[in-house]
Amino acid sequence: MTSSHQAPALWSELLLRSLAEVRELFSRLEDELGPASGDDFAHLLEGGSRLKRMLDSDAEQPSSHDLMNVLAAIRGYAEMLLEDIGELIPELAAALERLLKAVQGANDSGQESAADNGQPRNITSEPGFILAVDDLQENRELVARYLSRSGHIVVTAAGGEEALSTLEQTDVDVVLLDLLMPGMDGREVLYRIKQHPEWRATPVIVISGSQDMDGIIECIEAGADDYLFKPFNPVLLQARIKAGIERKRWHDREEQYRLQLERNEKFIRATFGRYLSDEIVTDILERPEGLELGGDLRRVTIMMSDIRGFTTLSERLQPSQVVTLLNRYLGAMTDIIMAHQGTIDEFIGDAILAVFGAPARREDDADRAVNCALAMQAAMAGINAHNRAEGLPEIETGIALNTGDVIAGNIGSERRSKYGFVGHPMNVTSRIEDVTAGGEILVSDSTLHSLSGTFQVGTSQAITVKGIDESIVIHQILGANP
């Protein structure tokens, strides 16, 4: 969340401002200085003029080497002057120290950009980036002086509009806002900040000229984070700024964490959402263990369906027609299965394997499965109407249902796994599917006995299944009794 491309410009602003301050003090105090110091000042200011020329030149970006050299010279002379006159002229010493801090800042930002190879940059918690808004220049300078002395970067704005345009350009940590200003006043700026989706979290400290508690309360209600009365105590200002920066950092970290979670959730939804109903995806998301490989034994109702004679049918069609036909059919069936909270395990060509009761088990799993099968058969008329309109053949599906205990879980390897099912009931369902005719729904005895609603049952028959000795009984489902 740092705005690195803006950093050099801001450092240069701070540097030039510090240099101007030193130059101004020097011209005032020149007579009090010895000749040696005067010479050092002349060199320092010469360095400053060169720096200004480099930064002002639109024609070319100054090379980092040239910039570094001139910064090194400024630093060297400033340090020598500080050694010589620091104790004699405290006012000048303070200005030189500010200048040295600005040089250090410029140097650090240059170092940062040299070390930046597109890798994510660590966000340092200090110094903060402070926007001070006040219509009076002396107040702005005072605040800038206090805060830049403790390492903050301070940009100032002389009015509401200027403050908003600075906010648009930079990522500000704390706004220090004077309430009483001509034009757009502090209250209006505060409202705009707190209504802006991206600025809203930026702490605002309002500064009031009078002991107007009602006005302050109004501002706090409008979202101001803190307040100060003028004339304010610099220590109190520092403390409030520090608290504001911490609040902003905390918010930034929280925001990053939230984005990370959102990305993870999006990924999981994209991965599972195609096969599972939203409800099941949410269920998985809410259980952190949900994505671990593993399994458990569950009683589920298994559904298998396929289009009768699809292989023969597809041989007569163009590949694109086969795809159109299949997508229309599978798309409609997917919607119906999801609407009944079924879990689609897979599509195998035209066949669908779905399960009711995993990952989430419900009392009415079998009922939902049967109702789902009835809805699927009912939807075939609409699908065939579309097919006829496009000159595609009509199709018929057969649906088999069976209820039993299966192992449900994420099956596969670390690299590729899916939520799937294994167990003998799966084979039994497949065997029932083999004997299902077009338009028919066949359910096993176990499914029939799991139903709590009543359905119209047609003929029953016994079939044998490979691997088990006894035969199983299956029933035709014709419809639901209201």
Partner 1 sequence: MSRPVLLVEDNELNREMLARRLRRAGLSVVVAADGREALARMREHSPAVVLMDMSLPILDGWSACRMAREDEQIRHIPIIALTAHAMEEDRRKALQAGCDDYATKPVDFPALLAKIEKLAEQ
Q: In the complex, which residues of this chain contact partner 1 (CB under 8 A)?
A: 40, 43, 46-47, 50, 64-66, 68-73, 75-77, 79-80, 103, 107, 110-111, 114-115
Least separation in angstroms between residue 91's CB and partner 1 is 24
Least separation in angstroms between residue 126's CB and partner 1 is 20
Helices (H), 206-233: 213-221
Specify the residue, 50 or 194, whose C-beta has the smaller distance to partner 1. Answer: 50
Do 5 and 121 touch, CB atoms closer than 8 A?
no
Specify the residue, 107 or 282, whose C-beta has the smaller distance to partner 1. Answer: 107
C-alpha 476/C-alpha 464 separation (Å) is 17
Do 421 and 407 touch, CB atoms closer than 8 A?
yes
Q: Residue 269 region, left (φ>0) first, then alpha (ψ -120 to 50), else beta?
A: alpha
Least separation in angstroms between residue 42's CB and partner 1 is 11
Least separation in angstroms between residue 111's CB and partner 1 is 4
Specify the residue, 106 or 376, whose C-beta has the smaller distance to partner 1. Answer: 106
Specify the residue, 47 or 398, whose C-beta has the smaller distance to partner 1. Answer: 47
Q: Which long-range contacts (CB under 8 A, 24 or more apart) does 315-319 make?
A: 316/393, 317/392, 317/393
Specify the residue, 75 or 475, whose C-beta has the smaller distance to partner 1. Answer: 75
Do 214 and 187 touch, CB atoms closer than 8 A?
no
Specify the residue, 73 or 179, whose C-beta has the smaller distance to partner 1. Answer: 73
Q: Residue 174 CA to chain centroid, in angstroms? A: 23
Specify the residue, 40 or 364, whose C-beta has the smaller distance to partner 1. Answer: 40
Least separation in angstroms between residue 43's CB and partner 1 is 7
Least separation in angstroms between residue 102's CB and partner 1 is 13
* Total residue count of the chain as it appears in this document: 482
DSSP H or E run through 409: strand 397-412
Residue 449 in tokens: 């006995």
Least separation in angstroms between residue 148's CB and partner 1 is 19
Q: Please, which residues have CB within 8 angstroms of residue 149's CB and are 6 or more apart in sequence?
A: 97, 98, 101
Candidates 130, 139, 115, 144; CA nearest to 20 is 144
DSSP H or E run through 206: strand 204-208
Least separation in angstroms between residue 346's CB and partner 1 is 54
Least separation in angstroms between residue 32's CB and partner 1 is 21
Least separation in angstroms between residue 61's CB and partner 1 is 16
Q: Residue 476 CA to chain centroid, in angstroms? A: 51
Give me Rg for the CA atoms of the chain.
38
Least separation in angstroms between residue 65's CB and partner 1 is 6
C-alpha 278/C-alpha 116 separation (Å) is 42
Q: Which amino acid is at 263?
A: R
Specify the residue, 68 or 411, whose C-beta has the smaller distance to partner 1. Answer: 68
Do 181 and 133 touch, CB atoms closer than 8 A?
yes
Specify the residue, 59 or 115, whose C-beta has the smaller distance to partner 1. Answer: 115
Q: Please, which residues have CB within 8 angstroms of residue 136's CB and are 6 or more apart in sequence?
A: 178
DSSP state of 211: -
Specify the residue, 73 or 451, whose C-beta has the smaller distance to partner 1. Answer: 73
C-alpha 416/C-alpha 121 separation (Å) is 33
Specify the residue, 108 or 405, whose C-beta has the smaller distance to partner 1. Answer: 108
Q: From the CB of residue 92, how many other CB atoms can be counted at a distance below 10 Å?
A: 23
Specify the residue, 69 or 264, whose C-beta has the smaller distance to partner 1. Answer: 69
Least separation in angstroms between residue 99's CB and partner 1 is 13
Q: Percentage helix, strand, coil, to 5, in the chain?
A: 55, 20, 25
SS3 343: strand
DSSP H or E run through 271: helix 234-272
